[in-house]
Structure formats: C-alpha cells, structure tokens
C-alpha cells in the first residue's frame, strides 16, 4: 500500500471517528428531560410538552414533578389527561407578591405532578410526554426555567434542575426556553384564518358553479356551429355530385 493510500485511509478513519463522537455526544445530550413549547410569545398561553425518557436499565419511571416559576408566575395551569397517569396541579403561596398585568398575585400554580398507575410506568428504552397548558407567558426575553424531578421504581430521584449558564450543558439540565416577542395586536387569529379560508373556498366554489352553465352553453354553441358547418359541406358535396351526373 502506497504512502498516499495509507494517508487517505487514516484521514477517512479520523473523520469517521470524529463523526461518531459527535453523534454519540448528541445522543447523550438529547437523552434528558426536555420541554417543547407550542408557543413562546409573551402574554400568550402555551402548551408545554415535557419529553421524559427512561435513562435506567433496571427501573421504570413512576412519577414526574414539574416546578413552575414563582418570580414570573403563571396565573393558569391545566394538564392534558394521560391514560394510566394521575395528574394534579398544586397551587400555593408565592414567596413574594408579583404584579401580573396590573394585578397583584400572591398565589399561583407551583407544581404539576404526574403519577403512574401500576402498569403505566415508563419502562427502560421508552419515553413519555406530559403536557401542561400555562399562561400568560411573561415578558419577552425571560428565560423560563422549569425544573423537573423524575422518580424511578427503585426509589431513585433524578433532579433536572440545573439551568444552562454557558455553551456547555450541565450534567442535569433543567427544561427551559426563552420567551419571544408578543403577537402583534389585531393580527389574524387561527379562527379568523380558518374563517377566511372557508370564505375563500366558498367563493371559489360559487364561482365554479357559476362558470359551469356558461361553459356548457359555450360547448353546446360550439357543437351546434360544427353541426351547421358539417350540414353545409354535405349539401355542397351532394349538389356537386348531382350536377356531375347530369
């Protein structure tokens, strides 16, 4: 094997090894409790989906507790029913009163707890999603940190409560996201958009219905014209044959 060939093999091997490490790192980093917000607009309501994988080989996940913020509290929290799991929103007194949209808030939803039935725990190699609707979201730029606590069937509790402070992810990162700008006032709502789409569809259907008789009339007129031309041709040919025979 030539020196050039050996060099190419070494380079390719190094590249594959580097790619493998990147993929492995991404896999490890993604195997944590995450939150996927349906919306991040300030002042709005959002469905927060917590994706919880089971990271143990010999125990199942039996309970998940999510801590809601107290410095920028939500005034509303509700859970999406999940078969085989009991879900409860716990309200309580805030450490200090907070002004939310001109109102002084002293109590707010503090925790949401999901507890599995006997046969519904998250088994090794599986994950589950837990959804909470909350709102209103605080001001644009707020970093919402939502610590989660994962309990296993052997009694182990993993606290996902470390906020990200730099480019490197902590060992047990907390689910979090940043609130974005509020939706513009007077903007189209999903209902208005659906109504507009329905109206457009109805107008298009009506236009099509109105076009159908007109198109049919044109076709019939065209066929009549063709029939007249054909009759004229036949008459001319017949007349010419009669004169030839005479």
Pair 61, 163 in one domain: yes
Is residue 233 predicted with pLDDT exceeding 70? no
Which pLDDT band holds residue 24 (cuts at 50, 70, 90)? Answer: very low
Of 14-18, 67-71, 83-87, 177-181, the one with minimum mean pLDDT is 14-18
Identify whether 9 is part of a domain. Answer: no
Identify whether 203 is part of a domain. Answer: yes
Which pLDDT band holds residue 191 (cuts at 50, 70, 90)? Answer: very low
H or E, element range at 129: strand 127-135
What value does the mean pLDDT take over residues 178-202?
A: 62
Amino acid 220: pLDDT = 54
More confident call, 226 vs 145: 145
Pair 171, 205 in one domain: no
CATH label of the domain that carries residue 143: 2.60.40.2230
Pair 137, 38 in one domain: yes
Pair 124, 230 in one domain: no
More confident call, 66 vs 31: 66
Pair 154, 36 in one domain: yes
Identify whether 2 is part of a domain. Answer: no
Structure tokens at 14: 């190094």
Domain boundary among 178, 209, 237: 178
Which pLDDT band holds residue 19 (cuts at 50, 70, 90)? Answer: very low
What value does the mean pLDDT take over residues 158-174?
A: 91
What value does the mean pLDDT take over residues 29-33?
A: 70
The DSSP line for 39-92 is --BTTS-EEEEEEEE---SS--EEEEEEEPPSSS--SEEEE--BTTEEEEEEEE
Identify whether 152 is part of a domain. Answer: yes
What value does the mean pLDDT take over residues 152-177?
A: 93
User: What is the rounded CA–CA span in Å between residue 41 and residue 84?
Assistant: 32
Enter the pTM of the model. Answer: 0.65
Pair 195, 173 in one domain: no
Residues with Cβ within 8 Å of residue 113, at least 6 apart in sequence: 63, 64, 65, 66, 87, 88, 90
pLDDT per position as a tens digit, 92-151: 999 999 988 788 999 999 999 999 998 999 999 999 999 999 999 999 999 999 999 999
Pair 217, 170 in one domain: no
Pair 91, 201 in one domain: no
Identify whether 51 is part of a domain. Answer: yes
Structure tokens at 102: 């001109």
Is residue 17 predicted with pLDDT exceeding 90? no
Identify whether 5 is part of a domain. Answer: no
User: What is the rounded CA–CA span in Å between residue 164 and residue 97?
Assistant: 27
Task: Please state the domain count of the chain.
Answer: 2
Pair 141, 220 in one domain: no
Pair 52, 149 in one domain: yes
Identify whether 8 is part of a domain. Answer: no
Please report, rounded to a whole number, the percentage of residues in the chain having pLDDT higher than 70: 63
User: What is the rounded CA–CA span in Å between residue 131 and residue 46?
Assistant: 10
Domain carrying residue 123: 32-178
Do 73 and 126 meet the contact criterion of CB atoms below 8 Å apart? no
Pair 60, 160 in one domain: yes
Is residue 188 predicted with pLDDT exceeding 80? no
Pair 76, 99 in one domain: yes
Identify whether 150 is part of a domain. Answer: yes
Go through 217-231 and write b for each residue having 16 or more CB atoms within 10 A of its CB, e for each that does not.
Answer: eeeeeeeeeeeeeee
């Amino acid at each position: 094997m030539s020196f050039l060939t050996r060099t190419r093999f070494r380079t390719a091997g190094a590249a594959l090894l580097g790619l493998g490490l990147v993929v492995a790192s991404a896999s490890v980093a993604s195997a944590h409790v995450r939150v996927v917000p349906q919306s991040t607009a300030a002042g709005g309501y959002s469905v927060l989906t917590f994706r919880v994988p089971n990271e143990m080989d010999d125990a199942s996940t039996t309970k998940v507790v999510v801590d809601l913020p107290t410095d920028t509290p939500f005034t509303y929290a509700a859970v999406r029913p999940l078969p085989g799991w009991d879900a409860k929103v716990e309200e309580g007194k805030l450490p200090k009163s907070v002004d939310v949209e001109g109102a002084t808030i002293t109590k707010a939803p503090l925790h949401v707890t999901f507890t599995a039935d006997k046969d519904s725990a998250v088994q090794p190699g599986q994950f589950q999603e837990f959804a909470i609707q909350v709102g209103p979201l605080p001001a644009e730029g707020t970093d919402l940190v939502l610590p989660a606590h994962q309990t296993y069937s052997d009694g182990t509790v993993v606290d996902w409560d470390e906020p990200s402070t730099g480019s490197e992810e902590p060992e047990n990162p907390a689910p979090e996201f940043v609130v974005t700008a509020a939706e513009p006032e007077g903007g189209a709502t999903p209902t208005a958009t659906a109504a507009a789409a329905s109206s457009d569809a109805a107008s298009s259907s009506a236009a099509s219905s109105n076009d159908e008789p007109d198109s049919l009339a044109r076709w019939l007129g065209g066929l009549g014209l063709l029939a007249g031309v054909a009759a004229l041709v036949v008459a001319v040919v017949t007349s010419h044959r009669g004169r030839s025979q005479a």
